[in-house]
Amino acid sequence: MKKFLIMLLIIISFSNIGLANQIDDNIVKAEVLEIKKLNYDGVNKQIIKVKILEGTYVNRKIDIEYMPIEYSQYNFDLYKGSKVRIKIESNNDQIKGNIINVSREDNLKLLVIIFLICVILFGKMRGILSVTSLAISGIVIIKLMIPLILKGYNPLLIAVICSIFIILISFILVAGFTYKSFAAILGTICGTITAGLLAQVFTNLCSITGLANEEVQFLITSMEITVDFRGLFMSGVIIGTIGAVMDVAMTVTSVIFELKSQSRNLGFIELVGAGLNVGKDVMATMVNTLVLAYAGASMPLLIILNKFNIPINQIISMEILSTEIIRSLCGSVGLIMTIPLTSFIASFMVNNKR
């Protein structure tokens, strides 16, 4: 019952933030009714009849000329029944449109439903609470952390504060406010801060500008947004580390508390040793998880570098790759340091309950 009350209070506190973005009435969802493929002098074109599904011109049918652009994100594989996003241009009662994207939200909603069913089916109440904590984490990042960064606050400081808040909420919802969850919270915070501090040190040593990413360039050139991009990079390291660190901290803490409950005679040293031994096994897989996740996100870049046979020292010196190395290794060090820190904290707490 307490968990339900905590969950309800948190959701209510965020309910007035508002998740809805401003809607552009000129960009609407439409359904493909018919496709005619044409070829003029080797150029492929399509005349697509669509039915507008929302907005001022709902249920209106219009023809749109669409030219797929090969090897681009605008090479859509459309068929009858496809949902697309179109931009409408109106002149009195005459309207025409351009296809700007595929409408993917229906398919993504289906994927979300499958995810929720799996979590709730196997996790029961714990699964519901974990999904709730995930939703709250998303709200904190999107509606609190990002707006504060855009207002000019230090991205690293904001990331640390928001991370601590996410850690507190996640553990309290999933495990309750107990000695065990409190030990895991402290271990996670220590590991996360370690990763953040290390990222700051090597970001400065390597003279990382934070401007090598395409998304950052888009923010500067198209949206004219100026923030501390170095701090933004370091805040990303912290946010990307939280999940793995939380997992390790809770695993080590659970083992120590369970051992103590089974054998009251175990002392501080024995419990710390047990936590470290379990942590070593967990560490190998979790470090792989972090590094491979970042490597997987950089696959196109790795292919480019391999194709042109660029010397390894030049490759490592490129900022776009250096940032990924810093991100993955700092996160891994934070994860590794979580193991001894959590072992000491949990062992001390389980032996000194008051």
Q: What are the pLDDT digits (tens) for 309-337? A: 777 777 778 887 788 888 888 888 998 89
Q: Which residues contact 353 (CB under 8 A, 6 or more apart)?
A: 179
Residue with tokens 């923010």: 219
My answer on whether 62 and 116 are in the same domain is no
The whole-number average pLDDT for the span 136-143 is: 88
Residue with tokens 């493909």: 32
Inside any domain, residue 1: no
Q: CA 323, CA 58: separation in Å to the nearest integer?
A: 47
Kindly state the percentage of the chain with pLDDT values over 90. 8
Q: In the prediction, which pLDDT does 19 show?
A: 42
My answer on whether 120 and 35 are in the same domain is no
State the total domains in the chain.
2
Q: With 90 as the cut, is the pLDDT of residue 341 above it?
A: yes
Structural domain containing residue 61: 27-103
My answer on whether 95 and 127 are in the same domain is no
The residue type of 63 is D
My answer on whether 214 and 340 are in the same domain is yes
Inside any domain, residue 22: no
Q: CA 315, CA 309: separation in Å to the nearest integer?
A: 10
My answer on whether 93 and 118 are in the same domain is no
Residue of higher predicted confidence among 328 and 21:
328
My answer on whether 187 and 330 are in the same domain is yes
My answer on whether 180 and 325 are in the same domain is yes
My answer on whether 136 and 179 are in the same domain is yes
Inside any domain, residue 5: no
Q: With 80 as the cut, is the pLDDT of residue 227 above it?
A: no
Question: Using one digit for the tens of pLDDT, what is the confidence trace for 31-89?
Answer: 999 888 887 766 778 888 999 898 888 888 888 888 877 777 778 888 888 899 998 88
- The whole-angstrom distance between residue 136's C-alpha and the CA centroid of its chain comes to 13
My answer on whether 170 and 219 are in the same domain is yes
Q: With 60 as the cut, is the pLDDT of residue 11 above it?
A: no
The last residue of a domain, from among 44, 79, 103: 103
The last residue of a domain, from among 75, 103, 131: 103
Residue with tokens 């049918």: 61
**Most confident listed range (2-16, 163-177, 183-197):** 183-197
What helix, strand, coil percent values describe the chain, rounded to 5? 65, 15, 20
Q: With 80 as the cut, is the pLDDT of residue 128 above it?
A: yes
Question: Using one digit for the tens of pLDDT, what is the confidence trace for 272-285?
Answer: 888 888 888 888 77
Write out the two tokens for 160.
């640390």
Q: In the prediction, which pLDDT does 14 show?
A: 47
- Is the CA virtual torsion 111, 112, 113, 118 positive or negative? positive
